[in-house]
Amino acid sequence: MGVGGEKFQLGTVGALGLSVVSSVSIVICNKALMSSLGFNFATTLTSWHLLVTFCSLHVALWMKFFEHKPFDSRTVMGFGVLNGISIGLLNLSLGFNSVGFYQMTKLAIIPCTVILETLFFRKKFSRSIQMSLSVLLLGVGVATVTDLQLNAVGSVLSLLAIITTCIAQIMTNTIQKKFKVSSTQLLYQSCPYQSLTLFLVGPFLDGFLTNQNVFAFDYTSQVVFFIVLSCLISVSVNFSTFLVIGKTSPVTYQVLGHLKTCLVLTFGYVLLHDPFSWRNILGILIAVVGMVLYSYFCTVETQQKSIEVSQQQVKETESSPLISDSLSKVENGGGDADDEPLKVPMWSSKYSRA
């Protein structure tokens, strides 16, 4: 595959590893904060996460760890606000629905993303990929879904949460490729809009769901410690999220999310002694099989695409001397007056516009 391909694979593996470690860590930290210490203001806490992430990135920019690359401000604002709204809707969905229905909402994000990318981006998913995703979803469903209590308001909120989350994640991938910005540059520019949206909505949303005032909460030293720790871990979580989606795809990020769900269940049982059943174990095993199959088929398809691209480049290289000879004849006046005009191949103009 060459040095470039190996670097890309190492970068992707590093991003996936960072995402898994940071996400599992922050879930355990937040569980201790909410379950043990009673701080149940999830949306407000998320706004603080994003604010700390922005400040950290601003320091990194000042230290020249990355280059600021501004682009279309409307796109950044719309993307940031949409991300904030999707987080708020997910929290509302959890508040109005049972835990089982909320887990089904998260599971529905994968097929919804696949459908949207197929309809609007003409992206094709092979039967092998579809099969592995089905196995993964089945496993996570068995491991996490408990009860399915339906209600009209909760169903509408869940539907809106699914749609906004899918669009936001697809936009993350599309914006990075369209404007040629890195995950760090996009996160730096969108963080203020995400944070502001959640900071304005968070206290009201959390108050509505918990019947408590976030500003009247008793902030002991232990609570403050876990809040600060959660915010610091969130920098890694937010960065790795954009990094993974930029290097892979929204579907792969969702698959990774369900793997993290299984790991959180496992760590919860081992470290926090949460109740565990044979169904949890069976579901995790099925989900891991689905994850392995998805990774394998994605790797095979990626290698096939790389081989096809290499073969196409070889063909173009073999045909390029003919073009060079024709161009040199025209430049040197070697062509006859009655010759046909020089015809530049279609692929040449296509790449010049990219």
Please give the average per-residue pLDDT across 149-170, as a whole number. Answer: 85
pLDDT at 31: 79
Best CA proximity match to 76, nearest among 151, 186, 201, 209: 186
Residue 247 pLDDT > 60, yes or no? yes
CB 253 within 8 A of CB 245: yes
Q: Please tell me the least confidently modeled range out of 90-99, 122-131, 272-281.
A: 272-281
Would you give the DSSP letter of residue 145? -
* Rounded-to-integer distance, Cα 111 and Cα 137, Å: 9
- Cβ burial of 74 (10 Å; 0-12, 13-18, 19+) is exposed
Q: How far is CA 270 from CA 21, 80, 266, 274, in A?
A: 16, 37, 6, 8
Residues belonging to the chain: 354
pLDDT at 345: 39
pLDDT at 326: 43
pLDDT tens string 105-143 = 777 787 888 888 888 878 888 888 788 878 877 877 776
Residue 57 pLDDT > 60, yes or no? yes
Q: 180's torsion region: left (phi>0), alpha (psi -120 to 50) or beta? A: left
Query: Could you tell me which residue, 310 or 117, shows the higher pLDDT?
Result: 117
Grouping H, G, I as helix, E, B as strand and the rest as coil, residue 220 is coil
Q: 145's torsion region: left (phi>0), alpha (psi -120 to 50) or beta? A: beta
Please give the average per-residue pLDDT across 246-250, as a whole number. Answer: 67
Instruction: Annotate 100-128 with b (16+ C-beta within 10 A) or e (fewer).
Output: ebbbbbbbbbbbbbbebbeeeeeeeeeee
Look at the block and give the residue holding tokens 């044979």. Answer: 278
Phi/psi at 97 (5° precision):
-120, 165
pLDDT tens string 5-48 = 555 455 667 777 777 788 778 877 887 888 788 898 989 999 99
Q: How far is CA 347 from CA 207, 233, 279, 321, 352, in A?
A: 58, 47, 55, 15, 9
Query: Could you tell me which residue, 247 or 121, shows the higher pLDDT?
Result: 121
Grouping H, G, I as helix, E, B as strand and the rest as coil, residue 336 is coil
Residue 146 pLDDT > 80, yes or no? no
pLDDT at 132: 82
Token pair for residue 96? 């109005």
Global pTM value: 0.67
Residue 98 pLDDT > 80, yes or no? no
* Rounded-to-integer distance, Cα 109 and Cα 161, Å: 9
Largest Cα–Cα distance in the chain?
90
Token pair for residue 276? 């565990």
Best mean pLDDT range from 269-283, 310-324, 336-350: 269-283
Contact residues for 21 (Cβ-Cβ < 8 A; gap 6+): 236
Radius of gyration of the chain (CA): 24
Q: Please tell me the least confidently modeled range out of 81-95, 202-216, 286-300.
A: 286-300
Q: What is the mean pLDDT of the chain?
A: 76
Best CA proximity match to 54, nearest among 218, 160, 205, 187: 187
Helix (H) / strand (E) element for 100: namely helix 99-107
CB 234 within 8 A of CB 53: yes
pLDDT at 276: 61
Token pair for residue 321? 């001397």
Per-residue confidence at 258, pLDDT binned at 50, 70, 90?
A: low
Look at the block and give the residue holding tokens 């970068």. Answer: 11
Please give the average per-residue pLDDT across 194-205, as a whole number. Answer: 91
Token pair for residue 307? 């081989």
Phi/psi at 286 (5° precision):
-65, -45
Best CA proximity match to 238, nearest among 60, 8, 33, 31: 60
* Rounded-to-integer distance, Cα 176 and Cα 248, Å: 11
pLDDT at 332: 47
Query: Could you tell me which residue, 341 or 244, shows the higher pLDDT?
Result: 244
* Rounded-to-integer distance, Cα 312 and Cα 307, Å: 9
Q: Please tell me the least confidently modeled range out of 119-128, 183-192, 227-236.
A: 119-128
Percentage, residues of the chain above pLDDT 90: 20
Look at the block and give the residue holding tokens 């892979």. Answer: 248
Q: CB neighbours (10 Å) of residue 43? A: 25
